[in-house]
Amino acid sequence: MSSVSVNLDFVGREYPANAPYSVGREKIREFAAATGSTHPAHHDVATARGLGYPDVIAPPTFAVIVAQRAEAQYIEDPSAGIDFSRVVHADERFTHVRPIIAGDELVTVLTVVSITQRSGLSMITTRCDIHALSSRAADAHAGGDDAPAPELVSTVLSTLAVRGEGL
């Protein structure tokens, strides 16, 4: 009956930065509304500016949208051996250097941190390091010879639990 099993060879694998995710003001408002995040800094540009941000800021868990896209490179790879119908989300952690802001162009470097197996359960932990390519600060430097270095904005640690056959 054993069909697919999680491939341990992926531990330590790092994926190159993916295609940029463009953070839209309306997407932030939509996500904020869907999570009941009514603070005006998510919705109103003037309020966000009053707090010192160039545009509306994303709620703290918005980064999951960006992280999910990067994680798909691994999770949807058939050779990774992850049967998604047997997956449950176990843990999630967001660490923010600054909030994600409308106008950010974000690229993500995905790392498969660990896969541990016990009693038929595989625990898979991934890390997404989300960098801004062109923050407003970088725009201000446009025209210079050097492209600005990507700026680390957020790190997302996610752990999935995959049930083995018969569990």
Partner 1 sequence: MSATVGRPDLASLSVGDVVGTVSVPVDRARLVRYAGASGDFNPIHWNDAVATDVGLPGVIAHGMFTMGAAVALVGDWAGDPGAIVDYQTRFSRPVPVPARGETHVEVVATVGAIEPDTRTVRVDLTVTHDGARVLGKSQVRVAL
Q: Of the candidates 4, 17, 77, 98, which one interacts with partner 1 according to CB under 8 A?
A: 98
Residue 43 binds to partner 1 (criterion: CB under 8 A) = no
Specify the 3-state DSSP secondary structure of 60: coil
Query: Residue 136, interface with partner 1 (CB under 8 A)?
Result: no
Q: Which is nearer to partner 1, 13 or 61 (CB)?
A: 61
CA distances (Å), 23 to each of 10, 63, 103, 104, in order? 30, 10, 5, 5
Using left for φ > 0, alpha for ψ between -120 and 50, and beta otherwise, residue 33 falls in alpha
Distance CA 110, CA 69 (A): 10
Asked if 112 and 10 count as a contact pair (C-beta separation under 8 A), the reply is: yes
Exactly one of 1, 19, 34, 142 binds partner 1 (CB under 8 A); which one? 34
For partner 1, the closer CB: 36 or 144? 36
Number of residues interacting with partner 1: please give it, by CB under 8 A: 40
Point out which residues bind partner 1 (CB under 8 A).
Answer: 27, 30-31, 33-39, 41-42, 50-53, 57, 59-61, 64-65, 68-69, 84-86, 88-99, 157
